[in-house]
Structure 1
Amino acid sequence: MNTLATLAFLATAATVSFAALPSDASAQSTMAYPEKCKSEGMMMDKSKDDMSSGGMQVTDYQKASMDGMKDMNMNMMQGMMKKDADVSFVCGMIAHHMGAISMSEVELKYGDNEEAKQMAQRIIEAQKKEIEEMSKWVDKEVK
């Protein structure tokens, strides 16, 4: 596996691992990922360093989404590796929000449903504001 693919895989594994940790106040205990959102046949093809859909053709929007997720995972992993828990959280969230913007931009480019496109636009606007706030915090607090 090349370095980028390895780090993306580790970031995904770390995200899954952290999500699986028990917590009384965790959103995990009150929220569940919708079954209708899960795909069958998707897996990591370790010999190719990329996502494989069980031999199915990957669409342009799926490729664009996966490219955005690779960038997000790399940046999130870098942020989460900071020695200070507060810095780690904020830097990881900046990357997470950038991923949400990337996904929303893919929806605006490829989506057909007007309601979904409106959600995407609202996400972009909200996440950009929060990224600005968090970036200011990083500039002020991180030495």
Structure 2
Amino acid sequence: MPRLSLLLPALAALLAAGPILTAPALAQHAHQHGAAAAPAPAPADSPATAALKAANAKMHKDMDIPYSGDPDKDFARAMIPHHQGAIDMARVQLQYGKDPVLRRLAEEIIQEQGREIALLRTMVDPPRR
């Protein structure tokens, strides 16, 4: 290992000479040595991504229910917004997606999850006789 007393004069000479590398050259040098480059700015969300994020955020917010202690009712109450979130995301797929298999799946999700929401609501608020 070189002695510090030998390195200090060389370092002083380099500093006195001023910048040697331009910013692009310095970035290339850093890249060659594995230094992380500054992260590129994140692209703006597409309308489909924004819609999926909104549906997901709403679903999670609505699933944060006050618990009653009744596991059956709590399960049903939490699953209703979960299933509604699936429906909302499936609608985004139908609006923006192109894949025919996923579009068909989205249609099936809307139908089936709607039926399950109706059943879950009867468990939360049973019909009165």
What secondary structure is seen at the aligned counterpart in 2 of 1:58? coil
For 1:95-114, what per-residue CA distance to the aligned partner results, in whole angstroms no more than 9, with x for missing partners?
11000000100000000011
Q: Which amino acid aligns with 1:72?
A: M
Aligned-partner Cα distance in 2 for 1:82–1:60? 38
CA 1:84/1:130 → structure 2, altered by over 3 Å: closer, same or farther?
A: same
Equivalent AA in structure 2 for residue 103 of structure 1: M
Q: Please identify the structure whose Cα radius of gyration is greater.
A: 2
Q: Compute the displacement of 1:82 (Å).
A: 3.3
Alignment of 1:19-98 (within 5 A): 55-78=42-65, 81-98=67-84
**Stretches of structure 2 lacking an aligned partner (at least 5 in a row):** 1-40
Give identity over the alignment, percent. Answer: 30
Instruction: Call closer, same or farther: CA 1:67–1:76 in 2, change over 3 Å.
Output: same
Q: Is the counterpart of residue 122 in structure 1 residue 84 in structure 2?
A: no
Which consecutive residues of structure 1, in runs of 5 or more, have no partner in the other structure?
A: 1-53
Aligned to 1:110: 96
Q: CA RMSD in A?
A: 1.6
Provide Cα deviations, 1:18-59, integer angstroms capped at 9, x if missing partner: xxxxxxxxxxxxxxxxxxxxxxxxxxxxxxxxxxxx622211
TM-score, normalized by length of structure 1? 0.57
More strand by share: 1
CA displacement 1:47-87 (0-9 Å, x = unmatched)? xxxxxxx62221100100111111111111116x3332211
2:78 aligns to what SS in structure 1? helix
TM-score by length of 2: 0.63
Paired position in structure 2 for 1:100: 86
Aligned equivalents of 2:42 and 2:57: distance in 1?
21
